[in-house]
Structure 1
Amino acid sequence: MRLLSLVLAGGLAAAGFGGAYAAEDIFDLSPEQPGRIHVEADPALAAKLPADFKWVVPGSFTVAVAAAGEPPLGTYATDAATVVGADPDIAWLVADKLGLKLNLVPVAWADWPLGLTSGKYDAVISNVGVTEERKLKFDFSTYRQGLHGFFVVTDSPITSLKQPKDVAGLKIATSSGTIQDRIINEWNKENVAAGLPASDILYYEDTPAALLAIQSGRVDAIFNVNSIFTYQGLKTGAIHQVGTVNAGWPNTTEVGITTRKDSGLAPVLTEALNAVIADGSYLKTLERWHLAPEAVETAKTNPPGLPKY
């Protein structure tokens, strides 16, 4: 999928759909990452780490991240080997603050629960949303809002999609079986109950298909993961965001560093996150990946999560 996504920009430009840019013109995908934000260690904070915690590699913070996904959260650098992105950069900040070396382990996203439970890594930092069901097995230290975004073509007359009535009568592209699928269908039900026109919800299971659908006019808007389509908008010049919705709608939920239940790491990781929030390095990290709108004001340990539907 990543290869298709990177090739897509050129295809859209050739079709006369916006201006395309190389990914490295917008995001630094080099393995060296010269712009990565680093912080000084805090020995007092490091002293709070549980003495009986068995690190995968002593002296290192071993973190799993899904590197086969789409930028900007986690992907492979231009050397096709080094893991880079916003989530790896959060891992660097936390490791720095705790005086630990960082050991990034690329994994398939679906494999993280078993790998974490079996002790293959100390934590997962890979866009894992807090849910009540996951909290039964894991602890969370939150570091980003879970946002989904509405995106339209650059010359669309649509300027704002932020609440149910805004999508009435529109053709909306999303991915089936996802959080955004649940939200848009709930909005549709609300609109129909209120006597508004129903939305036509169409399903596209990968990014290139959704982008081509909006290019051809088969859909009016894409509703999907905010970070991925923000990246596509910046890279292609073809789409832009006209609204966001929290993944926990009608409540809120956040994305968290995930650790084994009762391992003792979560409270210290939360404190480390709040330290980098306070010193400004956290926001600078999100800004370099164009994710500042997803910033949290305060990291929390095990806040209310998405309920099971």
Structure 2
Amino acid sequence: MRRLPDLEAWALFAKVAETRSFTRAASELGISKPTVSKAISRLEARIGTALLNRTSRRLSLTEAGRRAARSAGRILTEGEALETEAMDQATAPSGLVRLTAPMSFGIAHVAPLLPELFETYPELSVDLHLADEVVDLVGGGFDIAIRIAALPDSALRTRRVCRVRRLLVGAPEYFERQGRPEHPGDLARHVCLGYAYLPSSSRWHFRHATGEEVDVVPGGPLRVNNADALRPMLVAGRGLAVQPEFMAAEDIAAGRLEVAMADWSMPPIALNIVTPPSGLRPARVTAVIDFLWHHFANAPWSSGRMLDNSADDPC
């Protein structure tokens, strides 16, 4: 029967290779120098070759030692990470989680979840930063970001929650007064309200089910950097605007707003939970991610259920 690898000896070798010293390796690991020395000798005897050249004044890696050092280092790093993660999971999530989200989404959909979050995890604390501009997740020291966009490739870790539709909406009073656009080209005759953080805020792109695609340049008296600021103008019947479904769904259900050009769609965006690229997440961060994902993935607006009963794209 094949023996299991001597993982402890390989981890000790990795530390010796890193420090180039039995004494320093023993000190950093909190064990005795003889324990380290015996483990390396045991390992060399097992594999049948020397890993270290030893003199009274100097310690160096042999050719075999140099080849083995990198893999041994991964054994040590992954073992430490596994043990830390297991210890974190064995205790209730606690400590500070720094979370950033878009302003309107954060107020409407993140803040209402906080009472339940704190009841579920009473040892947690949250620093919630709301801003529509994209913040530097790593430079700002954030653990989690909610991002609603088509994300570019990056080193950040992304957990996609669901697709988010963008809808052209206006009040019934507006359509009674100005007429209802049927084609994107009709928007040249309409009052269009702008949002600065659309993927292309100076141009709206529409696609028809037949495959026809049309770009229009919206014109109107107002452009804002927060989607909530558009709502009073929309509900008052003073213009049309492109709104994400989670912003407009309640007003649509109540009849305050209506969807225009329903047979035309805009490129969908996605609701994403984004974290820094580091491999190990503390239990407190994992707990908040899982909590948010569950609630957002099951929200009525996450798949269009509030607007119709058809099955939209799955999250």
Which has the larger Rg? 2
Flag the structure with more relative contact order, 1 or 2, with Cα contacts below 8 A and sequence separation at least 6.
1
* TM-score of the superposed pair, with normalisation by structure 1: 0.47
* TM-score of the superposed pair, with normalisation by structure 2: 0.47
